[in-house]
Structure 1
Amino acid sequence: MSVELSPPEISYLGEDDADFFQNVDGRILNTLNPRYMLPVDRDEVKRSELHHRLLQFVFGGKNYIGPVKEALQFGEHRRILDLGTGGGFWAIDMADNFPRAEVIGIDLAPIQPRLRAVPPNCTFELCDLDQWNIPYPDNHFDFIHARSVHCGIHNYPQLLREITRLLRPGGLVLLIEPNLTPLVDGKSAGDSSSDSGLRGWLTLWETYRACLTRKGIDVTVPECLGNHLMATKSFERVMVQDGNIPVGFWPSDPHLLTVGQLQWMDYELFLPALRPLFLSFGMPQSTVHRIIADAQQDLYHPSVPLSARLHIVYASKRY
């Protein structure tokens, strides 16, 4: 199955907003959060869209999982908040799906489409989730969505407390975070033999986790999402769903094959995107080049099936 993406000539709000962007080792990064060192350039926007399409396949064609329609059926003003909206694809799709709801997407950098490409009930705001309070009133939103944001957050429990404040009683939160330990032949890297033939792939992920840890990021957040949410004591009906995502072209099932292709395309863009982060810790250029090149070799020519693990949690705020 072919996957259609946005045309490369699409214009993004922020192309002239120099204060929010910086060039680091040939990639464009944000200026608001020094912990978040993944790029915010066109390749990263494309990767954001790939990840969005992948999750749509995982969720059976929808943009969410859980009782979202129920959470949005009450009240005159229905509001949805997308934390770390990236390219804004989820927010735009949700605005189309729920035209009577107000959808707001916030992110570190203004890389979302210009207004002419955005539904009238969708807006985008700049906000650093790691440094500032999220600037909305208490009990303001019916549904809050956050995915793949923990690698820029040094205090994830504090973010959850802020989500709790913003969500109205009975409102729904949906959290999605990919695990940072890859799966090799169905087993986590820690359980795999060192001679699996994928040393380059495993080394890259070990290096990524080590860099995030040195920046003060808790790399165990994805597998602990449910515990973190329950620790707030503000949510009920906490549902935890973990799943393995194939990487590449090995699944025989057509649905899983499409998911695997999307995840492979995501990773193809993700590997070179790690270069600024690795270099920021003083690694020699040659070492960083070798780590990424060896991982790319394993991605292009894996000796055993590769997979990733996704952690999903949704819950309702207590009345």
Structure 2
Amino acid sequence: MSTDLCMADVSYLGDDDSEFFRTVHTRSLNTLNSRYMLPVDRDEVKRSELHHRLLQFVFGGKNYIGPVKQALQFGQQRRILDLGTGGGFWAINMADDFPRAEVIGVDLAPIQPRTVPPNCTFELCDLDQRNIPYPDNHFDFIHARSIHTGIHDYPRFLEEIARVLRPGGLILLVEPSLIPIVDGKPATEYANGTELRDTTVPERLTDLLATNEAFEKVVVQDGNIPVGFWPSDQNLLTVGQLQWMDYELFLPALKPFFLCSGLPEAKAERIISDAQRDLYYPSLPLSAQLHIVYASKCL
């Protein structure tokens, strides 16, 4: 199968990267995929870091769950791929944890640090409209999290992952549930003709992997993540605080998406302010469901 290399060999270290950004309703967005409407600015990098720290608590101080070390023990050249790397925090930590492995993070915009471990690189590609730009059977471990809102055809995305993952290699998918209720209706009903991503992907991760014949040994570890300051357990309290700060940045980040979807500005602002009120003054303890699945590629 041909790999469309798109922009995966672009090096932007020290270069003027302004061509990869555009301003939409006062927020900085990427230029590679005009349909992906979440920002790629400083606040989004901060949110990416908060989400990374949260998952480290969820994973007991690690950056992953599952038999990652076993997947990386074969072969002289170990390769790790982070799809939708965001601020690059996971890829950098994995490069530190596995200094003998080559770690590549792929994203729509160059928002990652310029100074990284020597075995870590970042590359640009629109994973929604292009093939994953690497050869067949190339990686030992592939990680993707919080990426489903940027993927139009998730089953095809999994097929691409299966193609570039070596037999016996490991895939780890982490997707938070994201089906907001707006004015008593799912947010997808406010699309006004705009094509939206499938927000049910997190709940269907297990089925999507199970129906792909390339994968086996599918393991599910879903859980509820507290939102806010209500847990009495200190570890859960920290997780809740991190998730609360994540949402505080996420809610205003939705404004470009709402406005470009056809919502009047007043209504978009009301939706966001109502959600912020629920976040700041919750009448009941809030939580969010996190869907975590890992599996091996069949030998």
Class of the TM-score when normalised by the shorter of the 2 chains? over 0.9
Aligned length: 288
Aligned to 2:187: 207
Percent sequence identity is 73
Instruction: Give SS of 1:175's match.
Output: strand
Matched-pair contact (CA < 8 Å) for 1:139–1:167? yes
The alpha carbon displacement at 1:290 in A equals: 1.3
Aligned to 1:135: 133
The alpha carbon displacement at 1:14 in A equals: 8.2
Change (3 A) 1:205 1:263: farther
Change (3 A) 1:32 1:51: same
Deviations 1:211-244 (A, max 9, x none): 4994241111101001111111111110011100
Matched-pair contact (CA < 8 Å) for 1:105–1:124? yes
Instruction: Give SS of 1:61's match.
Output: coil
Matched-pair contact (CA < 8 Å) for 1:180–1:205? no
Matches within 5 A, 1:87-166: 87-114=87-114, 117-166=115-164
Measure, in 2, the Cα distance between the counterparts of 1:309 and 1:123: 31
The alpha carbon displacement at 1:75 in A equals: 0.6
After TM superposition, the score normalised by the length of structure 1 is 0.86
Opposite residue 303 of structure 1, the aligned amino acid is: S
Opposite residue 234 of structure 1, the aligned amino acid is: A
Change (3 A) 1:85 1:211: farther
Measure, in 1, the Cα distance between the counterparts of 2:291 and 2:263: 31
Matched-pair contact (CA < 8 Å) for 2:179–2:187? no
The Cα RMSD (Å) is 1.9
Matches within 5 A, 1:185-200: none
Deviations 1:52-86 (A, max 9, x none): 00000000000000000000011100000000000
Q: 1:259 aligns with which of 220, 236, 239?
A: 239
1:268 counterpart = 2:268: no
Measure, in 2, the Cα distance between the counterparts of 1:244 and 1:95: 29
Instruction: Give 5+ residue unaligned stretches, structure 2.
Output: 1-11
Opposite residue 176 of structure 1, the aligned amino acid is: V
Measure, in 2, the Cα distance between the counterparts of 1:175 and 1:203: 31
Measure, in 2, the Cα distance between the counterparts of 1:31 and 1:123: 21
The alpha carbon displacement at 1:204 in A equals: 9.2
Aligned to 1:314: 294
After TM superposition, the score normalised by the length of structure 2 is 0.92
Aligned to 1:296: 276
1:241 counterpart = 2:228: no
Aligned to 1:278: 258
Q: 2:206 aligns with which of 221, 226, 229?
A: 226
